[in-house]
Chain A
Amino acid sequence: GAGVSQSPSNKVTEKGKDVELRCDPISGHTALYWYRQSLGQGLEFLIYFQGNSAPDKSGLPSDRFSAERTGGSVSTLTIQRTQQEDSAVYLCASSPRHRSQETQYFGPGTRLLVL
């Protein structure tokens, strides 16, 4: 079946602009995660959604970052007033159940460059 998809694959924006990144999880997966990977670094957790529960926003670096998940499926990560330090690859992952041992499957990522 189809894997996790993300759009756009690449985004170049000017400092101060808002950007929206989209994630389509694997069909039937109830858990969805956003991570950020800066150049040459490991992955940094941003936010987690599970079903209709309130999201875990503990990883969001500032209030310029927000995310929503509509209908328990597609998710959008929004970065307002982008800064150059926001430049990174934003990865989305989904897993089938809310159990810690469930494998997270990642999308191809969105490469964001803030000029």
Chain B
Amino acid sequence: AQKITQTQPGMFVQEKEAVTLDCTYDTSDPSYGLFWYKQPSSGEMIFLIYQGSYDQQNATEGRYSLNFQKARKSANLVISASQLGDSAMYFCAMREISGSARQLTFGSGTQLTVLP
């Protein structure tokens, strides 16, 4: 069974500093995809970054990068040069590729607050 764990209910970071949001996962499927979404107070889920289990390099998208450690089953999101607009809820999610499940399984989220 899939499981996503986000152990940080809340995080604070000073503007312009970097922050790491933790995510660990559990799956028996050797082929899977990992996603990070941002949910501001408006409620919409915004896709940030994707990492495939067989990708050789860590994914990067602008100020977002994913620290993927396959052996440890962790997929931490790193946000560099934090901005006030980064304040939001962040969700880690996984989707198995080999299995029959098609939906995303989400973690409980981390509320990030960027301080001026």
Cα distance A93–B91 when bound, in Å? 15
B45 contacts A93, C-beta separation under 8 Å: yes
Count of chain B residues with a beta carbon within 8 Å of a chain A beta carbon: 26
Question: Are B43 and A101 interface neighbours, CB within 8 A?
Answer: no
Nearest neighbor of B44 in chain A, beta-carbon distance: A108
Q: How far is the CB of B109 from chain A (nearest CB, A)?
A: 6
Which of B13-21, B65-73, B78-86, B95-103 contacts the other chain?
A: B95-103
Q: How far is the CA of A104 from the CA of B93 in the complex (A)?
A: 11
> Do A107 and B44 touch across chains, with their CB atoms under 8 A apart?
yes
Residue of A nearest to B51 (CB): A101
Contact of A101 among B42, B93, B97 (CB under 8 A): B97
Check B50 for interface membership: any CB of A closer than 8 A: yes
How far does the Cβ of A44 sit from chain B's closest Cβ, in whole Å? 8
B44 to chain A, nearest CB (A): 5
B82, chain A: closest CB distance, angstroms: 23
Chain A CB within 10 Å — which of B45, B47, B91 has the most?
A: B45
Question: What size tier do the contact residues of chain A reach?
Answer: 20 to 34
A106 to B91, CA, bound (A): 13
Do residues B42 and A108 form an inter-chain contact, with CB atoms below 8 A?
Answer: yes
- Contact status A48-B102, CB under 8 Å: yes
Q: For B105, what are the chain A residues with a Cβ–Cβ distance below 8 Å? A: 45
Q: Give chain B residues whose Cβ lies under 8 Å from the Cβ of A31.
A: 102
Given A41-B108, A42-B109, A43-B106: A111 in contact with B96 (beta carbons within 8 A) = no
A89 within 8 A of B: yes
Min CB distance, B28 to chain A, in Å? 15
Do B91 and A101 have beta carbons less than 8 Å apart? no
> Could you write out 19 A-B pairs with CB less than 8 Å apart?
A31-B102, A35-B103, A41-B108, A42-B91, A42-B109, A45-B103, A56-B103, A100-B33, A100-B95, A100-B97, A101-B52, A101-B97, A103-B50, A104-B104, A106-B37, A106-B44, A106-B47, A107-B44, A111-B43
Pairs A-B, 4 closest by C-beta atoms: A106-B45, A45-B103, A100-B97, A42-B106
A residues at B contact (CB < 8 Å) = 31, 33, 35, 41-43, 45, 48, 50, 56, 59, 89, 91, 93, 98-101, 103-109, 111
